[in-house]
Amino acid sequence: MTPQQYAHSPVLADRRSPAARLGCLAAAVAGLLAAAPAWSIDLRQAYEAAVANDATIRASRAAANASREQLPQAQAQRLPNMSFSAGRNYNDLTSRTQNFLGEPTTTVNRYYSGNQALTIRQPLYRPAIGALVKQAEAVVQDADATLEYAEQSLVVRVGEAYFEALLAEEQLVLVSSQKSTYTVQLDAAKKGFAAGSGTRTDIDEAQARLDMTFAQELEVQQNVEYTRRRLETITGQPLGTLARLDLARFAPAGPAPNSVDDWIARAEQASPEIKALRARLEAANFEIDKAKAGHKPTLDAVAQWSRNSSDSVTNVNSRYDNKSIGLQLTVPLYQGGYVNSTVRQAVASAERAREQLEATRLDLSVRVHREFRGMTEGVLRISALEQAVRSAEQAVLSNQMSFKAGARTTLDVLNAEQQKTTALRDLAQARYLYVASRLRLQSLAGDERAASVTEINAWLAL
């Protein structure tokens, strides 16, 4: 379609008033947001729904429950082990021998044989079990900290998804408003050209801006659908109206305390990610003790009761009952270097865990510093962009008045409108980036999850 054909398309031939077109536009946006069953939701409700329905957090809980079972399994190694075995067999025995005259004789015996045994074994000295129990305790600590980290990450995931969905919706409103403004400008340019007071260039410039806005609107609509679907996936529920930032209550402030070193210290002390890695290092150290125990003897107390009947061909129709109690000592002598190899492997694994802890600690400080700056600079950026929006709005009014007076062209008005829209978009993005940085910083420092959500949720209103 050529620009001339597009200018006379049904879309641009709409002669309704700007107010009527804006009303229809708002209705279209509302219809898009109401595609799912309508119900209102704020950040706190989204987080509570995610806690109950998010598949990732449910998998983390199941993984934690599985890891916790290692402790009772290890402790069970210290308790008596009791086993019972029983067997019963039918025997068909054919014997061929010679009698005293040297004549061959054949004897056939058919009989039942059986055995029963009850054995109780109580470990008395097994160094590996002690190391195994301590290692299991460290594994449980790791599981608990890993689950806590997943729950802290859920706060960030929900917050990012929620505010990305809000930002996408706000961008759609801005683009739609810009499209309406360009449509009015195009209509005015056509009327001015028909009246002889305008130029063809004014029409072409307005048409080019409007065409670009149509393409931007399609992209933003797709982003709205994507961000809402992402939030629906986390919460496990369809979305309706999302609570928006109430600018009357939204009061961005810098982090408290206002020292990045204090936040780094808090993160290193309370971060569940660091706790999990410390527990893994502890478990790796106990793995070294367990491997070294392969060189040490073990001592068990053993008690056994057994009964055998017709247990051999020479004792047919005989039964024996035996009761025994005693100690069993096992001393490893030589295993081909297996124990030494497992010790070296455990030492290497512990070194890897130690270096992973150090690398994560350093990376954590970088992430804390980044989010700290995101908050501190976010406050300044929001203030600067609020002033930029006011200036852009004033520039639009000035260019419109100058255009009416003949001192400005249509291109000047369009550029002013574009600058205003860009400033509004950047301001909305700065606000949501500030909120996201706040959530991430509190999560890295291990702050209480519900309190962080409640604090930010107080800035929202339906």
pLDDT: is 1 or 140 the higher one?
140
Measure the CA–CA gap between 203 and 403, rounded to whole angstroms: 15
289-313, pLDDT tens digit by residue?
999 999 999 999 999 999 988 767 6
Most confident of 40-44, 107-111, 399-403: 40-44
**Residues 121 and 131 grouped into a single domain:** no
Q: Which residue has the tokens 């980044």?
A: 370
Predicted pLDDT of residue 313: 67
Q: In CATH, what number is assigned to the domain containing residue 378?
A: 1.20.1600.10
Give me the half-sphere count of Cα atoms (radius 13 Å) on the Cβ side of residue 457.
Answer: 17
Mean pLDDT of 68-84: 95
Q: Name the amino acid, one letter, at 236.
A: G
Residues 190 and 311 in one domain: no
Q: Are 135 and 291 in contact (CB under 8 A)?
A: no
Contact 416, 395 (CB under 8 A): yes
Tokens of 402: 């100058």
Decide if 236 contacts 54 (C-beta within 8 A).
Answer: yes
Mean pLDDT score of the chain: 86
Between CA 448 and CA 454 the distance in angstroms is 10
The total number of structural domains that make up the chain: 2
State residue 303's pLDDT score: 96
Same domain flag for 74 and 84: no
Rounded to an integer, the average pLDDT of 338-350 is 95
Write the DSSP symbol of residue 14.
-
Question: Do 243 and 136 fall into the same domain?
Answer: yes
| Statement: residue 14 has pLDDT above 60 | no
Contact status, residue 385 vs residue 423, Cβ threshold 8 Å: yes
Claim to verify: residue 281 and residue 326 sit in the same structural domain? no
pLDDT score recorded for residue 39: 65
Task: Read off the pLDDT of residues 244-287 as tens digits, 9 standing for 90 and up.
Answer: 999 899 989 999 888 999 999 999 998 899 999 999 999 999 99
Q: Which of 247, 320, 304 is nearest to 82 (CA)?
A: 304
Residue 10: the pLDDT is: 36
User: Which run of H or E residues covers position 300?
Assistant: strand 298-309
Beta carbons of 353 and 284 less than 8 angstroms apart = yes
Query: Residue 225 half-sphere exposure, CB side, CA atoms within 13 Å?
Result: 9
Domain extent for 98: 80-125+299-331
- Residue 8 tokens, joined: 């006379």
Mean pLDDT of 138-158: 94
Cβ atoms of 109 and 91 within 8 Å: the answer is yes
Token pair listed for 313 = 């061909």
Q: Are residues 176 and 306 in the same domain?
A: no
Q: Where is the domain boundary, 311, 331, 351?
A: 331
Report the CATH number at residue 309. Answer: 2.20.200
| Domain match, 403 and 446 both | yes
The conformation of residue 78, written as its DSSP 8-state character, comes to G
**Shared domain check, 380 and 236:** yes
d(CA 392, CA 398): 10
* Alpha helices, DSSP H, located in 254-337: 260-270, 272-292
- Asked whether residue 83 carries a pLDDT value surpassing 90, the answer given is yes
Token look-up 């852009």 returns 392
Q: Are residues 215 and 138 in the same domain?
A: yes
* Same domain for 210 and 137: yes
Measured distance CA(53)–CA(67) in Å, rounded: 22
Q: Is the same domain home to 213 and 271?
A: yes
Same-domain check for residues 241 and 98: no
Residue 339 · residue 332 · CB < 8 Å: yes
Give the side-chain half-sphere CA count within 13 A for 443: 23
Full-model pTM = 0.78
Say if residue 257 is preceded by a cis peptide, omega within 30 of 0: yes
SS3 88: strand
